[in-house]
Structure 1
């Protein structure tokens, strides 16, 4: 059944749109490059001109690293006994741990990882992947309904096997698409910047929020970002499949998918919601995660109080994403048994 579903996706007209989007996805890789640690360019408002630092790359990189280390040291050297805020104590402790594992005395080449991280999580790339996922998952069942094949499926002895295979496809599909993109990104970055080195160094070396990034290596940092983005892709795909089962055509299905993706941003306008809940909604917003405005994959976000108990905000948000995925799977199963089977 699973192989048959994959063949059907390949033969479907929507696969042409997906291939076009995939082509754009690969093309944009070559145009994405962050400002490297060895580069420094900025706009000087006082002179009203764009300044390009002409100093040697290793000098620029060491200066940037020194600034990051000094920022972390200023937090690490705080007297934790005098701090009343538990979040500040945790950040100070985390800063000491980072420096104990990587004191940042000397710059080491992290170009590959810096470029790869930027490309792997680039907002335009994640937007194109979402478009591919929604295009394919939103049509998993609507095409059957329009061609009246749904009646054949529902009257078959293997109907649940067929429906479950569609659900399984919605889970596997985003993983496959993102994996293909990551492999292409790795190869392109390897060709341009050479083999990855120094991935065991602390993540603050490639992070823009050196003081808040958790104690983790560069490899762990990138893996955390990819992992959270993958969860978002899976959630979007599962609910896009759900909408294909409960709507009449692909337009309705895609519209519902877009509304679901934007739900986090919409809920932010509900000012009457509790502050703690608003924090979770903001950090778990799909749009914020995909546009890199959410820091749950890499940063320490402190604790929140729920039901008179303190919870780590990052763990709470990750649990929320997991809950969304599980609820999407359960809703699909419910639709199979109680809605489509009426």
Structure 2
């Protein structure tokens, strides 16, 4: 039985050679995702050329998905690539993209969050929690839950509106590059309403636009978004930070069902086979998660770090293909 569920895999350092990309295609890769939060146009051009060459050699059609950064707020850098923030300590948040340390963390677009005393600032997919003590141009915060914070990690403040344009100047340049390269799909990050999709489409041109649902506001405005988008991605990383972990399974099912009702493409993403970044075998929970995403009706399932920086990118594709095929046997 031919597999119906498509497999999207993110390309990165672990999958940047003709040999690995070719093997991933043979293993079942359907869509190559390029994360425009990282890399430059030269590196993305090379990846696109490698995918197209490898697909052509195998007489396979492999689509290119351009995932734009959107209005994402990120920390700056640290001398050794990361820093330990200790629970109970205090840290100053400074505007800009400079190099920080355990007592100072630079945050791009810091002012766009308009922080207030008591606001919770979540970093590193919510693993690190800061509480705002005194806001201002520089923000003093207490480390409520510490941990290791790496360069360029994302920052979120659940329930706080971020005052940034839906399509940034970087996005416009990246979308122009995508049009030049003839990419097949665009994933729009951090959208909150249908107007955001229209703004992306105005720059992206005549390609399908997938709305990444990763803000609580996007869940609330899902109908408005689906009226404009060609599909929706359940982006469980940032969505889990926004909503908390407990509602995610229910919200995932809701997004997939409503996307189908609107005639769109549904994609489920984030940590699907995360243990395979290191291990050649998935956990049983991961196998069940991927299968349930298929049973929920996902048109595609997506791999991120597993194939971008993981040790087993080809094996991960093989495993995901096998799980999807088996799940599709369900009556």
**Above 0.5 in TM-score?**
no
Judging by fraction of residues, say which structure has more strand.
Answer: 2
Judging by fraction of residues, say which structure has more helix.
Answer: 1
**TM-score for both structures, normalised by structure 1:** 0.25
**TM-score for both structures, normalised by structure 2:** 0.26
